[in-house]
Amino acid sequence: MNKKDITNSLKSVNVLEEKTLNYIDFTKVDSSVPLSFDIVENSFVYLSLRGNCSSDITFNVKENSTLILNILFDTQINSKVKFALDDNATINVSGCDLMSSNRDFHLTCDLNGINSKGEFHLACLSSANDNKVFDVNFNHLNINTVSIMENYGISKDHSSLSFVGNSFIQRGSKKANARQITKIVAFDEGVKVKASPILSIDENDVIASHGASEGQVNQDHIFYLMSRGLSEEEAKKIIILGYLSPIINYFIDDDMKQEISSHLDRGI
């Protein structure tokens, strides 16, 4: 797939090209102004983001269209990202945050259209004195809407990591399906971790589930791996990699995949 850097051609309202890996590197531009992207009807669009970004970003995803969005949190992305989905529209958002820095990221997805679907997958490592907050909201506002949220995090040193997941199902949104999974591993004694899965449901005819766990590395897993000859450090590393590395499968950009893989090998 062709990769197209659209960083320098950004306007306040943008239309993304189909069958192209659209790429924005916010380290190259000042991006404090709000940005908007329109995904036109019946299109299939890829977009990768990275770099410094503190602006609010809005995506309008029209009927029968799909947006695949990859976010590499490699420096300061403290944005409010909003999605509005029409009938049969789909978004699949994946984020990977291995950079040591503070983070305050908010995502809101309004599932306005019938059969609209949103997915959010995140792998996050917080270390040193990082304070990272991810606040993800899916609003089911029509029938047959689907949301899937998967957050995996590791917190090391004296860092803090908080995942807030909020799935709201409005009355009348029959057959809505909302799912949340959040897992955080507290690697060291001095960390603060918090998983807050929230389901707010105002309709009976729905499927909704959430699971959240926060705790230390499972000692039974460590024992199992060590009993096969791995040292404690190796055992912990392989478990942590197992937590974070599946996110690579959601990324489209080969350069980003390679970068995440190298970072995981180097940084854990």
Partner 1 sequence: MNKLEIINLHVSVEDKEILKGVNLTINQGECLALLGPNGHGKSTLLAAIMGNPHYKVTQGKILLDGEDVLSMSIDERSKKGLFLAMQYPSEIPGVVNQDFLRASMNAHRDTPIKLFEFYRSVESASKKVNLPLDMVNRFLNEGFSGGEKKRNEILQLILLNPSIALLDEIDSGLDVDAINTIASVIDDLHQKGMSFLVVSHYARLYDLIHPTHSAIMINGKIVLEGDKTLIDRVDKEGYEFLKREHGIDIAKEEKKMNTVSLGACAVNQGTK
Nearest C-alpha neighbor of 98 from the set 219, 238, 243: 243
**Binding span for partner 1 by CB under 8 A among 1-9, 101-109, 165-173, 242-250:** 242-250
190 is a contact residue toward partner 1 (CB under 8 A): no
DSSP H helices, 151-252, are: 219-226, 232-244
H or E, element range at 254: helix 254-267
Smallest distance from the beta carbon of 24 to partner 1, in angstroms?
29
Residue whose tokens read 């890996």: 21
Are residues 142 and 171 in contact, defined by beta-carbon separation less than 8 angstroms? no
Nearest C-alpha neighbor of 100 from the set 25, 163, 154: 154
Give the DSSP letter of residue 53: B
Count of residues engaged in binding partner 1, rule: CB under 8 A: 36
Distance of CA 167 to the CA centre of its chain: 15
Are residues 193 and 159 in contact, defined by beta-carbon separation less than 8 angstroms? no
212 or 252: CB nearest partner 1: 212
231 is a contact residue toward partner 1 (CB under 8 A): yes
238 is a contact residue toward partner 1 (CB under 8 A): yes
**Binding span for partner 1 by CB under 8 A among 36-44, 59-67, 169-177, 204-212:** 204-212
**Binding span for partner 1 by CB under 8 A among 29-37, 55-63, 134-142, 243-251:** 243-251
Considering only residues 125 to 184 of the shown chain, the ones binding partner 1 according to CB under 8 A are 183
What residues does 77 pair with on adjacent strands?
53
211 is a contact residue toward partner 1 (CB under 8 A): yes
Amino acid (1-letter code) at residue 83: F
262 is a contact residue toward partner 1 (CB under 8 A): no
**Binding span for partner 1 by CB under 8 A among 20-28, 52-60, 126-134, 212-220:** 212-220
Residues at the interface with partner 1 (CB under 8 A): 183, 195-197, 199, 210-221, 223-232, 234, 238-239, 241-246
